[in-house]
Amino acid sequence: MSWLIEQIRSALLALKASPLRSFFTVFTIAIGVFTLIATKTAIQTLDNSINNVISSMGSQVIRVNYLPSVRFSDGDEYRNRKPITLKQANDLQEAFSGSMRVGMSSATWGKSVQYYSRTTQRENRFIGVNHDYFSVLNLDVGEGRVISEEDVLFSRAVVVLGLDVATVLFGEENAVGKDVKIDNRSYRVIGVAKTRGTPMGQSLDKFVMLPITYFVNVLGYTGRARTVDMYVESPSEELIPLAVDEITGAMRGIRNVQPGEDNDFEVETNESVIDQFSGFISNLEMVGLVCGLMALLAAGIGIMNIMLVIVRERTREIGVRKAVGAKNGTILMQFLIEAVIVCQIGALAGVATGIPAGNLAMNMLIEVETAIPVEWVVGSGLICTVIGITFGLWPAWKAARLAPVEALTFD
């Protein structure tokens, strides 16, 4: 152990003797590690936020949509699909009446809400929902009540406001019982929802909920905005696979999908949605890994060239050490340790700057929790050790093979 400590001390002194050269060598390694760590940190913060949002919807909730929640293109198989109608949603609810609750929603954007002289921005989400939507997705109100079965049955002009909308319109006043206007129509406020937070930097409290029957039949939205999404609550997590099969079979019948034809709808669980995101995340990680490794490869070549220069400059020193009894293995190990130490210092610099940079970059786009990719930090250290040994071996071998007489007379 004392021998190793002495070799490390000797290597550090050699690096200190040429600070500018050592700095540029460390800098090249730091760039590669920075690329790896910053990319992985940003991706991990995004992945954590996505998982938190999906998990917050309930572990037993099965989503039924006419399009996938995650898709990267609108292929013909999606473009030709017809939206799910309110009647089809009601048919599915009827099919599982008494066994599973079915929440429904249909949404659109781009309308303002007015209360006398106060008006919100046109960034609110307008959602038509049924009564079970609140219980299935664990939504509750801080004031008033949720939309009832009677509100849906009689298509009443009532609304539940998100907290951000209520704050803009009413401030500290109680909003329940007051009337607001949307497209010059009056709606009675029956409740103000509890805050849902700002996952991924987007507030979930900028919404207005209406009875889905009023939303679809009275407001008359058309096209894709009129599709109905469903959230089916499985009796337990263990029964989710069975529930998925039953829902799929029921929807094929409701949508009149013929035997042998592909489904024209999606039945998704938390696990399936997370798997879809994981594929995308894995691709991003691969890109970051390739870019980082290419930078480290270039840095390794630079280290080899610099170490060759160092060996040349210290030829007389090597000759003196050999003259007093230093063995080839000792010389070889000294230069290898020196190369590894340079790489490890660069790795530490890359990690120290990459983690804050990755978190800061994501926080500038969305509000996310801080992430530290421990496995990539450890991996970066190991990779840099391998690079130091691989690219430092040839210069170290040349130093070890120098003949003492030639080294002492080198000019």
- Report in angstroms the alpha-carbon separations of 31 from 15, 39, 294, 308, 381: 19, 12, 11, 22, 14
**359 plus 303 within the same structural domain:** yes
Domain that holds residue 172: 82-233
Boundary (domain end) residue, out of 203, 233, 263: 233
Within 71-192, where are the H helices? 76-79, 86-95, 132-136, 149-153, 163-170
Within a domain: residue 246? no
Q: At what angle do helices 328-365 and 19-55 cross, to 10 degrees?
A: 40
Number of domains the chain contains: 2
Q: Are strands 118-119 and 61-65 parallel, antiparallel or unpaired?
A: unpaired
Within a domain: residue 65? no
Q: Which residues pair with 114 in a beta bridge?
A: 119, 181
Looking at residue 362, its pLDDT comes to 73
**229 plus 282 within the same structural domain:** no
User: Is 207 within 8 Å of 125 (Cβ atoms)?
Assistant: yes
What count of residues does the chain have?
Answer: 411
> Distance (Å, rounded) from C-alpha 206 to C-alpha 120?
10
Within a domain: residue 264? no
Within a domain: residue 150? yes
| Cα 336–Cα 337–Cα 342 angle in degrees, nearest 5 | 100
**298 plus 344 within the same structural domain:** yes
Looking at residue 191, its pLDDT comes to 94
**186 plus 321 within the same structural domain:** no
Q: Are strands 158-161 and 185-193 parallel, antiparallel or unpaired?
A: parallel
Boundary (domain end) residue, out of 165, 199, 233: 233
The separation between CA 237 and the C-alpha centre of its own chain, rounded to angstroms, equals 25
Within a domain: residue 184? yes
108-133 residue pLDDT tens: 887 889 998 888 888 888 899 999 99
**89 plus 197 within the same structural domain:** yes
The segments of the chain whose pLDDT lies below 50 read 223-224
Looking at residue 304, its pLDDT comes to 83
* Count of CA atoms in the C-beta half-sphere (13 A) of 254: 25
**217 plus 305 within the same structural domain:** no
Instruction: Provide the 8-state DSSP code for 201.
Output: G
Within a domain: residue 259? no
- Burial class, 72, CB count within 10 angstroms (exposed 0-12 / middle 13-18 / buried 19+): exposed
Within a domain: residue 73? no
- Residue whose token pair is 């929802």: 193
> Distance (Å, rounded) from C-alpha 250 to C-alpha 260?
15
**170 plus 117 within the same structural domain:** yes
**222 plus 365 within the same structural domain:** no
**116 plus 219 within the same structural domain:** yes
**190 plus 320 within the same structural domain:** no
Within a domain: residue 244? no
> Distance (Å, rounded) from C-alpha 25 to C-alpha 299?
8
**283 plus 385 within the same structural domain:** yes
Boundary (domain end) residue, out of 181, 207, 233: 233
**225 plus 280 within the same structural domain:** no
